[in-house]
Structure 1
Amino acid sequence: MGWIIRRFAPIIVLVSSVLLLAGCGNGPTKASSAAIVGDETISLEQVQQDVNWLLHNMPEARQAEEQDGLGQFSRHVLRAHIHHELLDVAAEREGLSAEREDVDEILESWGGVDEAPAAVGIPPEYIERFATDIVLLQELGERYIDRVSVDIVGAEVTGDTPEEPMREQAMALGREIADDPGRANEIIEAEGQPVIDETFSPGDLIEQGAMELATSALFSAESGTVAVIQPNSQQPVWLVALVTGRDVGGGEGDADGAQTPQADPQMLYSLGLRMLSPIAEELGVEVNPRYGVWDPAGVDIAESEDHTVGELIPARDVEP
């Protein structure tokens, strides 16, 4: 997996992936919890300790505190805690394991185990765990890149109106389809939009250059869900898609072991995170309101409901 690590190194500098620590506690206690993942509690005290470390070791965090913007650092730290809890479950179920040489290669790309904490903003006691989880998430993404596919019926929303921005238009269309999925085609045509009736896999979309869509909520949504998402965050387009079928094959990527050429380390990492979403739905994720809300469409913590990357709406029926 050396090719994976070499191109992934720049991604790690992002503060959004600061810490991957285990939750603590013997059972969920909301009053003292930053988040609860299934039966595991991530304590307020632990998250505050992590943020304090950032304040003492990262100039960016100190600057954010001075500008009253430390909330984003707290959310990023807590998100990493949650991802770690979910990854523990995924790794056990999928039989994932990180090769020592791959973990060491990541550490070396950060300057070695002694320099890595300062280079990527992670306390020394957690640096190896962080590197290990990166390897595991890439392996998880590699395992599903050509293994999961979805059938969708949907449409694009491509313009604001004076009365309703695109996001609100897309959400309204999504709710209408979810209320009566058997009429999805009719509802879309009544809006004057062409119907999208396609089968997608992450590998196919990567080949087409649709990188964000390849790691989007489409591939974690269960059949009978309406996904309302942006296929590309840099373009003013929303996709409203009723997932009419989701298939997960029994293999581990391409049968011949070949890797999709454009599936770089960041792509595999992002797809690995996406594959944590069904586990989050199964176990349940609760976030203390002081940090925001859990965003299933983003597998992330959003500042508020208005800042989520989209919405997953259960439909009354799976038939389009």
Structure 2
Amino acid sequence: MGRPRALVAVVAGAFLLAGCGSGPSQVGAAAVIGDHAVSIDQVQDLINKAVREQPYAQKLAGEHKLEEVGRAAVTQLVLHELLLQAAEKQGIKPNYGQIDAQLAKDPLNGPVPADASNEAQAVSQVVARSRDHRESLTDTYLAQALAEKAIPNLAVTFDFTTIGTLPDPNTGSTLQGPEAKKAALDLARQFAANPAAAAQRIGADVQYEAQARQQAKAAGNNVDSIPPLTGLGEAVPAAQAGALASTPIFGSPAGTVTAVPDPREQLQGTWLVAVVRQRTDDRPVATEEVPELDAATKTAIGMRQLQPLFDKLGVRVNKRYGVWDVVGMNVVPNQDSVEGLVLPPGGSGSAKQ
């Protein structure tokens, strides 16, 4: 893969349907979450309401793209059920006084304009505004409460390497976009199939990065502000991980291999391939100064706490809507649309659903 070229480029550049089993039937269900089912009728009702009330949904209807609203509806209804169960398990109850005070201002009131520029965000807002607003706000409250409870006790030890802009040794062109994604997913599959080789490969990458940084400093370049591109046995508290704590690296058991878009601001467009060595969540983690998390990051970290529960309950999504992407924590059209991979040791290379 021309690994030295990849590291140099990054340093220089910025610097479902499973068997029915027991429980609710999949027939007539958009999704089954443990002993609860989200019906196809529920999803269709939300789609119909969105088209009646939301200009952005009307635009999608004209473009024959209402399946995007359906996927977002299934996503939010599945997460709603998981949030309720996770909160009950953690002894968290909604503060309805706080929720109702927010509801009085109703941030979900009003239309999502047809010319909204961010499609994914607009579709999510269309569904949130078509649902019961108190329920949507309660979901956000519970996600943030789950994060606040989990963060002080959560730490993950992992090995990682970074796939960035990768010059082709023959053409000199850069590897990015879909090609960079493919390289990261292929590497994750290799790591899952051979954990020992993963440690060896990442160890070599760590040594190479150290040399590359020394050479860059000797040339007069300031590389101290660039986050680590590789790491071996990195023990990271969630409290100091920021957006990284919202990724499957912090939601997966030991032995899991993940390939995800790197959430670190300075490394936008690169990929993080990691092997989880240890995950602890049952005791306070000693940390240095803890940065304040914004509401969106806190919500995302709380949603990530649902990943183990999703697996435990064996959530099933009706194929008419798509497949569950464990990286994005949402329903996507097909396996080609997933944001990344989460693989157990010896994983076959398919995304978990």
Q: Give the TM-score of the pair, scaled to structure 2.
A: 0.72
- Work out which of the residue numbers 77, 93, 97 in structure 2 matches 1:97: 93
Which one of 263, 266, 269 corresponds to residue 236 of structure 1?
269
SS of residue paired to 1:72: helix
Question: What is the DSSP-based 3-state SS (H/G/I as helix, E as strand, rest coil) of the residue aligned with 1:278?
Answer: helix
Preserved contact between residue 34 and residue 47 of structure 1 (Cα < 8 Å): yes
| Residues 259-297 of structure 1: CA deviation (Å, up to 9, x unaligned) | 944312111111111101110011112111221111112
1:196 to 228, 231, 238: 231
Find 2:163's aligned residue among 157, 168, 173.
157
Who is 1:142 aligned against?
A: 148
Aligned amino acid, residue 341 of structure 2: E
1:224 aligns with 2:260: no
Tell which structure's C-alpha radius of gyration is larger. Answer: 2
The answer to whether 1:75 aligns with 2:71 is yes
Partner of 1:131: 137
- Provide Cα deviations, 1:49-70, integer angstroms capped at 9, x if missing partner: 1110111111110111001221
- Count the aligned residue pairs: 281
Relative to structure 1, is the Cα distance of residues 254 and 58 closer, same or farther in structure 2, using a 3 angstrom cutoff?
A: farther
Aligned to 2:221: none
Q: CA RMSD in A?
A: 3.0
Aligned mates of 1:254, 1:267 — CA distance in 2: 21
Instruction: Pick closer, same or farther for the CA change 1:125–1:156 going to 2, 3 Å.
Output: closer
Instruction: Report the equivalent of 1:268.
Output: 298
Gaps of 5+ in 2: 1-21, 113-124, 210-229, 348-353
CA distance in 1, matches of 2:325, 2:103: 30
Using the alignment, how far apart are the partners of 1:174 and 1:107 within structure 2? 43
Partners of 1:260 and 1:230 lie apart in 2 by 24
Conserved? CA contact 1:53–1:123, under 8 Å: no
Please give the alpha-carbon distance, in whole angstroms, between the structure 1 residues aligned to 2:50 and 2:208. Answer: 48
Report the equivalent of 1:205: 241
Q: Is the 8 A contact 2:154 2:282 kept in 1?
A: yes
Are 2:326 and 1:312 aligned? no
- Match in the other structure for 1:245: 278
Structure 1 residue 125, shift from structure 2 partner? 7.9
Q: What is the CA–CA distance in structure 2 between the aligned matches of 1:202 and 1:109, rounded to whole Å?
A: 32
Correspondence 1:109-128 to 2 at 5 A = 109-110=105-106, 116=109, 126-128=132-134
SS at match of 1:249: coil
Q: Taking structure 1 as reference, are residues 254 and 61 closer, same or farther at Cα in structure 2, changes over 3 Å only?
A: farther
Q: How does 1:271-286 map to 2 (within 5 A)?
A: 271-286=301-316
1:185 to partner: Cα distance: 2.4
In structure 2, which of residues 70, 80, 83 is the aligned counterpart of residue 84 of structure 1?
80
Using the alignment, how far apart are the partners of 1:125 and 1:62 within structure 2?
Answer: 17
Normalising to structure 1: TM-score of the pair? 0.79
* Unaligned runs of at least 5 residues, structure 1: 1-25
Residues 217 and 298, structure 1, Cα contact 8 Å, conserved in 2: no
Secondary structure in structure 2 of the residue aligned to 1:141: helix
1:180 corresponding residue in structure 2: 194
